[in-house]
Structure 1
Amino acid sequence: MDRTTSTEINNIMKQYGMKANFFEKYGKSFKVSTSEGNFALKRISPYTGTGFVKNVQLLYHRGYNRIVPIYPTLDGRYAVLDEQYLYYLMPWLPNEEKEDRSEKHQKMFRELARLHTLSVKEVQITKEQRKEHFDQTNEQWVRETEFFEEFLERSEQKWYMSPFELMFCTFFQDIIQALNFSKKQLEQWYEDSKDVEKGRTVVVHGKVSTEHFLYDERGYGYFTNFENSKVTSPINDLLPFLARTLNTYPKRLDDSVDWLYTYLGHFPFREDEKRLFLGYLAHPGPIYRIVEEYFFKKTKKSEMKYVKQLQRNYWLLKNTEYVVMRINQIAAQKTNAENSGPS
């Protein structure tokens, strides 16, 4: 239960040289009204720390300013520790949306591409590092294939399969097809890049969402909530977003494909990045985890809950399959157009 009081809020605002007239709670943030204006006071776990502030400062240094700024306290700190929480202060943006959902996503992905473009850096990657990544990932995916095959065999040997086992057997071919596709992309990635000695890193936001893309009074979009940001491959911003977006009932998610190509139009992937991205995107990890949990009885869920979770993960698999198929179709059309162009 949240027991934050006006006294606690004022104790924090004093660190910024201000007094709170009143405040309202919005999720993990507070809208704090002062004589200097309205501010957003974000509350986070102290274990999160303030390391993400360095990434925000790095982006500013590289010329990317579409970030909701984090204000320092009077003594230069970027967060205040009070009781069991850390608090940091930002301006309050009105976030009045004047376009539909698809347009907001288009703007967000254009900004994400610009964020990645301005923070991109080439780093040295040895042949040994690439081989180690390939060997570890390939070995894991081979083990998963063997586990799925064993679970199928055990299920089919029974006189009466459980509802979960019956559903798994029904889905088996699609699951293995996705896993084989992922392994093929991984193998192609390694073949294409094993002699390439450089890779690209960017500052990834860490939790891309329209909830973390806010509008100011002029209608400009700004990213907020960089608490999960880090310097890594750009695919680590796209994969979690797509996993959340595609986790719904089966449907043609052409909007997701459009948003992805909005991003790629401004920050194109290299061929090896595209292979790795498609391999991880298509990988049926959620299905593996729920089948493993069921097999080893790791939790006390009911059979019905297991069946529902397997069903939802299968829907995710099919939605992902559609997106991957569309990406490959678009790539093939582009290649054919280039090959049939004027000589």
Structure 2
Amino acid sequence: MEWKDIFDTYRIQPNYIEQVSEKVYKLNTNSQNYCLKFTSLTEDQIGYWNAVYRYITERQVYGFVPVILTKDNHPLYLMDSHVMVMSPWVDNFRHDRPADEWINFFHGLGKLHGSTLDHTPVSYTENQISEIQQFFRNDKTRKKEELLQYIRYFESKRYMSPFELQACMHYRDLEWMMEVTEKWQSVYLELLKEKQSRKAVLCHGNLAPSHYTLLQDNIYFFNWEYARIDSPSSDLVVYLNNLFTYHDCDMNKVSDGLSIYFQYVRFQDDDICELMFDLFNLESYFSLLNEHVSNSSKEEIRQSIQLEKRYRQLVFANQLEQTLYAKLQMNQQEY
């Protein structure tokens, strides 16, 4: 790696370089510290990311950790097919975070989404709604048959592995979640008849807990390489699934946090439906089953851990569903 070229490009001279992770380096200088990240972007994606960057700077988006420009005023630096981005170093002390971190997070995400919220006009014909309804039916049939095939295959063995026993124990719950999803789909199809617009916001794209920090009760997001204009649900689902990975997830705090977020971005009933569809998405669960069946190396422990995490995410999503469905029914009674 030609460090001198990088230093010349950013016009800095570090005293020393600390490798923090495989892709992240901390550059220590006399004046301040910098974060140099080797992104996952390809050369073909640079133009799109530059457009997102211009959008962020022109609209002065809340909570965006600034990017250090190169001497040619570019936000990204391409060297030997590697796309790099430089920003001020922001310390991220997990143990120093307040007990109400989630509340602060939902305030911060609400401000981010609320400040970039746009509405795109839409309308659905009867034929389009019928096509969506048919898609829902076909998708449910496919998933039920696929899941049942896996379970029958596992149960046909004389001795099931721990992973296969896990999947069999999950079966009834997953089947129930498919029925719950169908309930939301029925509501959604009715709402489409009156739907007039779709929400679009600037999404971070990868809201893992390590991609934001709290400074004096303000939240700052970094690692923006997957940023895009998308439905607000896409960010919410990523963050919620990160929370749902842990067995001690506090669902009361999640519900309170969503109530705060909805004050910034008011979710209509169809938005809530789309959020639930994403939370109840079984494709990643099926991918793990398929990997287990087709993977000859049989990394049993890793596969079991991943399956349990995905199942836990679905279980917590089912708990949240009860709260959101009550909210949806209350909204409909008001109308």
TM range (shorter): 0.7 to 0.9
Task: Say if 2:18 and 2:26, in contact at 8 Å, map to a contact too.
Answer: yes
What is the alpha-carbon distance in structure 1 between the residues aligned to residue 230 and residue 129 of structure 2?
Answer: 15
Q: Is 1:40 aligned with 2:35?
A: yes
Q: 1:291 to 1:42 in 2, by over 3 A?
A: closer
What is the alpha-carbon distance in structure 2 between the residues aligned to residue 251 and residue 223 of structure 1?
Answer: 22
CA displacement 1:38-95 (0-9 Å, x = unmatched): 2222222451743334223313323424211112212122222223422222122344
Q: Is 1:25 aligned with 2:19?
A: yes
Task: Say if 2:208 and 2:238, in contact at 8 Å, map to a contact too.
Answer: no
Amino acid at match of 2:181: S
Amino acid at match of 2:120: V
TM-score for both structures, normalised by structure 1: 0.81
TM-score for both structures, normalised by structure 2: 0.83
Amino acid at match of 1:236: S
What is the alpha-carbon distance in structure 1 between the residues aligned to residue 30 and residue 13 of structure 2?
Answer: 8
Q: Spell out the pairing of 1:153-168 with structure 2 (5 A cutoff).
A: 158=156, 160=158, 162-163=160-161, 166-168=165-167
> How large is the RMSD of aligned CA atoms in angstroms?
3.2
Number of the residue aligned with 1:261: 259
Q: Spell out the pairing of 1:96-135 with structure 2 (5 A cutoff).
A: 100-127=97-124, 135=134
Q: Calculate percent identity across the aligned residue pairs.
A: 20
Amino acid at match of 1:85: H
Number of the residue aligned with 1:226: 224
User: Which has the larger displacement, 233-242 or 192-201?
Assistant: 192-201
From 15, 19, 35, the counterpart of 2:9? 15
Q: 1:243 to 1:210 in 2, by over 3 A?
A: closer
Q: Is 1:90 aligned with 2:87?
A: yes
Amino acid at match of 1:54: A
Task: Say if 1:181 and 1:282, in contact at 8 Å, map to a contact too.
Answer: no
Q: Spell out the pairing of 1:318-337 with structure 2 (5 A cutoff).
A: 318-329=315-326
Number of the residue aligned with 2:198: 199
Using the TM superposition, give the Cα deviation of residue 120 of structure 1 relative to its aligned residue in structure 2, in angstroms: 1.4
Q: 1:98 to 1:195 in 2, by over 3 A?
A: same
What is the alpha-carbon distance in structure 1 between the residues aligned to residue 83 and residue 137 of structure 2?
Answer: 40
Q: Is 1:314 aligned with 2:314?
A: no
What is the alpha-carbon distance in structure 2 between the residues aligned to residue 155 and residue 204 of structure 1?
Answer: 40
Q: Secondary structure at the match of 2:85?
A: strand
Using the TM superposition, give the Cα deviation of residue 151 of structure 1 relative to its aligned residue in structure 2, in angstroms: 4.2
CA displacement 1:219-269 (0-9 Å, x = unmatched): 633211111111111100011222222123376533333332221232221
Using the TM superposition, give the Cα deviation of residue 141 of structure 1 relative to its aligned residue in structure 2, in angstroms: 2.8
Q: 1:132 to 1:11 in 2, by over 3 A?
A: farther
CA displacement 1:251-296 (0-9 Å, x = unmatched): 653333333222123222111010111122134333333334445x
Task: Say if 1:250 and 1:316, in contact at 8 Å, map to a contact too.
Answer: no
From 50, 54, 73, the counterpart of 1:57? 54
What is the alpha-carbon distance in structure 1 between the residues aligned to residue 19 and residue 143 of structure 2?
Answer: 45
Number of the residue aligned with 1:243: 241
Using the TM superposition, give the Cα deviation of residue 200 of structure 1 relative to its aligned residue in structure 2, in angstroms: 1.2
Q: Secondary structure at the match of 1:116?
A: helix
Number of the residue aligned with 1:139: 138
From 69, 73, 80, the counterpart of 2:70? 73
Using the TM superposition, give the Cα deviation of residue 208 of structure 1 relative to its aligned residue in structure 2, in angstroms: 1.4
Task: Say if 1:96 and 1:219, in contact at 8 Å, map to a contact too.
Answer: no
Q: Spell out the pairing of 1:253-292 with structure 2 (5 A cutoff).
A: 253-292=251-290
Task: Say if 1:108 and 1:210, in contact at 8 Å, map to a contact too.
Answer: no
Instruction: List gaps (5 residues or longer) in structure 2.
Output: none
Instruction: List gaps (5 residues or longer) in structure 1.
Output: none
Task: Say if 1:213 and 1:224, in contact at 8 Å, map to a contact too.
Answer: yes
Task: Say if 2:42 and 2:81, in contact at 8 Å, map to a contact too.
Answer: no
Q: 1:131 to 1:26 in 2, by over 3 A?
A: farther
What is the alpha-carbon distance in structure 2 between the residues aligned to residue 198 and residue 282 of structure 1?
Answer: 23
